[in-house]
Structure 1
Amino acid sequence: MSDTSQNAFDPPPAATGHLPSYVAPFRSPRGLATALTVLFGLTVGVDLLAVASDAHVWRLTDEMAGGGFVEDADLTRADALQVVGGVLQVTLLVATAVVFIIWFHRVRRNADFFALDSCEMKSGWAIGAWFVPIGNLWLPRKVAGEVWDASIDWESEARRPSHTPMNVWWALFVATWLVGRAASSAYEDAVSAAELKQAVERMMVSDALDAVAAVFALLFVRKLTRMQLDKATARQEQIPPQPRP
Structure 2
Amino acid sequence: MPVAVRGWRMGFPVDEHAEYRPLSTLAKLLAGVFGFALALDLLLAALTGRVLARLGTHPSVLNGFTPADVASLVRIVHAGSTISFIWWFRRAYGNLPALGHARHHGVGWSIGAWFVPILNLFRPKQIAIELWAAGDPPAPPPDPPGLVGWWWGIFLFRVWMDARASTPARPQTLGEFQTSLLLGVASCLVSAAAAAVAIALVVRVSNRQDARAATFSHDCSPSQASR
Counterpart CA distance in 1 for 2:179 and 2:59 is 18
Deviation for aligned residue 1:188: 3.6
Residues 141-164 of structure 1, C-alpha deviations (whole Å, 9 max, x = no match)? 11111221122433xx8xx98611
Corresponding position: 1:101 with 2:83: no
Deviation for aligned residue 1:77: 4.3
Counterpart CA distance in 2 for 1:59 and 1:21 is 59
Cα pair 2:113 2:124 within 8 Å, conserved: yes
Structure 1 segment 140-159 matched on structure 2, within 5 A: 140-154=124-138
Counterpart CA distance in 2 for 1:225 and 1:57 is 40
Corresponding residue of 1:54: 48
Cα pair 1:126 1:140 within 8 Å, conserved: yes
Match of 2:59 among 67, 70, 76: 70
Question: Counting helix residues as a fraction of each chain, which structure ranks higher?
Answer: 1
Corresponding residue of 2:75: 90
Corresponding position: 1:180 with 2:162: yes
Q: Secondary structure at the match of 2:59?
A: coil
Corresponding position: 1:33 with 2:33: no
Cα pair 1:24 1:109 within 8 Å, conserved: no
Deviation for aligned residue 1:134: 2.8
Match of 1:205 among 183, 186, 203: 186
Residues 199-236 of structure 1, C-alpha deviations (whole Å, 9 max, x = no match)? 21121111101001100000000000000010100115
Match of 1:220 among 201, 216, 222: 201
Structure 1: which 5+ runs fail to align?
1-18, 240-245
Cα 1:23/1:88, change in 2 over 3 Å: farther
Cα RMSD (Å) of the superposition?
A: 2.5
Corresponding residue of 1:121: 105
Q: TM-score, normalised by structure 1?
A: 0.75
Q: What is the one-letter code of the residue matched to 2:123?
A: L
Q: Secondary structure at the match of 2:175?
A: helix
Counterpart CA distance in 2 for 1:184 and 1:209 is 14
Q: Secondary structure at the match of 2:157?
A: helix
Counterpart CA distance in 1 for 2:23 and 2:83 is 14
Aligned residues, how many? 205
Counterpart CA distance in 2 for 1:32 and 1:193 is 45
- Which has the bigger relative contact order, CA under 8 A and spacing at least 6? 2
Cα 1:161/1:221, change in 2 over 3 Å: farther
Cα pair 2:135 2:211 within 8 Å, conserved: no
Q: What is the one-letter code of the residue matched to 1:75?
A: L
Deviation for aligned residue 1:111: 1.1
Corresponding position: 1:167 with 2:154: no
Corresponding position: 1:231 with 2:212: yes
Counterpart CA distance in 1 for 2:113 and 2:68 is 32
Counterpart CA distance in 2 for 1:226 and 1:204 is 33
Q: TM-score, normalised by structure 2?
A: 0.80
Counterpart CA distance in 2 for 1:140 and 1:20 is 21
Residues 165-185 of structure 1, C-alpha deviations (whole Å, 9 max, x = no match)? 111111100001001101214
Counterpart CA distance in 1 for 2:177 and 2:15 is 63
Identity %: 25
Corresponding residue of 2:174: 193
